[in-house]
Structure 1
């Protein structure tokens, strides 16, 4: 796992947009909300009722180096308010805005808005480069995603489930 010094040193090979040195923590990088995607469309602010979830575009765009995986992590302050934040692992060669899901597990309404800190990224080095990176896979449905694509290339396959 990368530490703060390494994140700062390698930031130009990881972040395509949005990097701010003050967001680097001891072993992570803090991300904030850029846009919120609800059933009724894209928003800058929403009231999340208990049990509801939204998809969130963060304020960073990354290109994952071929020897790295990026993981989404919870922020303690969000856990304590009852918000579950998760996302996929971003694989070597994946280029995208970082998208996450937020679910309100509390009994209270939670307000989310553009600019709010929402999650953190962790950077893990791989022992070697994979034979086929994400950007070279024929079914990389979510590569080069700048705006939320919903089910992406899986729309026909998964929409009925």
Structure 2
């Protein structure tokens, strides 16, 4: 890792463009914020809500030689404030404006503006010869370009995540459906036993007992069918069959 003397030398040699020596620390350089980027565009200040992220573009442009790499680190004061930072390792041969992303991991909003520093950059000498300097999609990136050519790759991964999420939601619905069905069956059995025991003691006719039993079965079947519609169960038979059974049971109870 380069010392302050080495970092000052990088500024003089044009490795760090747009830099001022006053921002040089013992082993780092304090980056100056140029603008903030989210889905709506560029901003000069940003109110970062809990859990949200924003990209930060810096005033400084780095032009790394073949024996130097760079890393962006969050300032200690910002760590304590509740920010986290994600940034790439800048490889030898990379020429770009410095970009990074910050996320609010605290429980309150954090106001960001250009006047207060967020991150610092440190430089490391590379041992040996770099045979293939960086020439990737983000080389010569001076205006924020988002995911650039990597977007299609990430889209396929995001579709796979969406599919897994849909599978989990489907499993959750099936669990709820089966739980309600089992509950309705046990509740119906318990109700039938208790009602039949009470009616038998009262000396009611078998026709009356049958009518009451059919009504109980119809009621619980309707409950299961309605639950299927509320939970948006995909299997149509699982939703319709209980309702059909309910109608048949109520009709039979009426005509008994």
- TM normalised by structure 2 equals 0.59
Match runs of 1:35-114 below 5 Å? 35-114=35-114
1:32-66 deviations in Å (ceiling 9; x for gaps):
21010012111111100000000110110111111
The unaligned stretches of length 5 or more in structure 1 are none
The equivalent of 1:142 in structure 2 is: 138
Q: Secondary structure at the match of 2:79?
A: helix
Q: Secondary structure at the match of 1:80?
A: helix
Deviation at 1:157? Answer: 2.1
**Structure number with larger C-alpha Rg:** 2
Q: Aligned partners of 1:114 and 1:25: how far apart in 2?
A: 19
Matched, 1:121 2:121: yes
The CA distance in 2 between the partners of 1:133 and 1:156, in whole Å, is 25
1:107 shift after superposition? 0.7
| SS of structure 2 residue aligned to 1:156 | helix
User: Distance between the aligned counterparts of 1:111 and 1:155, measured in 2?
Assistant: 29
Matched residue count: 156
> Whole-Å Cα distance in 2 between the matches of residues 10 and 30 of structure 1?
14
* Divergent runs of 4+, >4 A: none
Asked if structure 2 preserves the Cα contact closer than 8 Å seen for 1:54 and 1:101, the reply is yes
Aligned counterparts of 1:129 and 1:67: Cα–Cα separation in 2: 7
- Displacement of 1:31 in angstroms is 0.4
Structure (1 or 2) with the greater helix fraction: 2
- CA drift of 1:14 comes to 1.3
Which residue in the other structure is 2:130 paired with? 130
Q: Give SS of 2:153's match.
A: helix
Aligned to 2:16: 15
- The yes-or-no answer on 1:155 pairing with 2:151 is yes
Ranked by relative contact order (alpha carbons within 8 Å, sequence separation 6 or more), the top structure is 1
Q: CA RMSD of the aligned region, Å? A: 1.1
